[in-house]
Amino acid sequence: MFLSELMYYSIANEDITDEDLDNILEVARNANKERNVTGALLLYHGFFIQCVEGHRDILNQLYSSIIHDARHCDVRLLRFRTIEERTFDQWSMAKADSSRITDSLTLHYSPDKTFNPALMTPEQLYRMLARLLR
């Protein structure tokens, strides 16, 4: 089935730590490698933003697991589309470095300098994520 991309954002649990994030990433990287899934994950201002790329059916299954994961809630699907090529092909799951986010970077992609994914289009979130990996 076609190469696809799925993006969502969610509200991270209030008590989530850096260690929890590293744990999510380690498990995700191992599982994703097995299934030819690539992508990037950002934890910022209490939100997770994730983009995953791979076989459409695999992404569908992965999303079903992710939405039931107790480490976050209110998972909002941003888009699920076929793509011609991967953006995050170097990473089984990249950690987008939130310390690189500045007011001016946020303002570049959104109407306000306070980061709020609800005010951003899927394309803006995707571009910001990709920018943090360059």
Whichever of 69 and 103 has its CB closer to ligand FMN, that residue is: 69
d(CA 88, CA 34): 16
Whichever of 92 and 110 has its CB closer to ligand FMN, that residue is: 92
Whichever of 69 and 112 has its CB closer to ligand FMN, that residue is: 69
Query: Least distance (Å) from ligand FMN to the CB of residue 110?
Result: 21
74 CB contacts (<8 Å, ≥6 apart)? 10, 11
Residue 49 and residue 42 in contact, taking contact as beta carbons nearer than 8 Å: yes
Instruction: Residue 94: name the closest of 85, 84, 86 by CA.
Output: 86
Whichever of 39 and 122 has its CB closer to ligand FMN, that residue is: 39
Query: Least distance (Å) from ligand FMN to the CB of residue 98?
Result: 13
* Residues β-bridged to residue 76: 9
Query: Least distance (Å) from ligand FMN to the CB of residue 55?
Result: 13
Residues in the chain: 134
d(CA 47, CA 37): 22
Residues forming the site for ligand FMN (CB under 6 A)? 24, 27-28, 31-32, 39, 41, 48, 50, 52, 62, 65-66, 69, 71-72, 93
Query: Least distance (Å) from ligand FMN to the CB of residue 90?
Result: 15
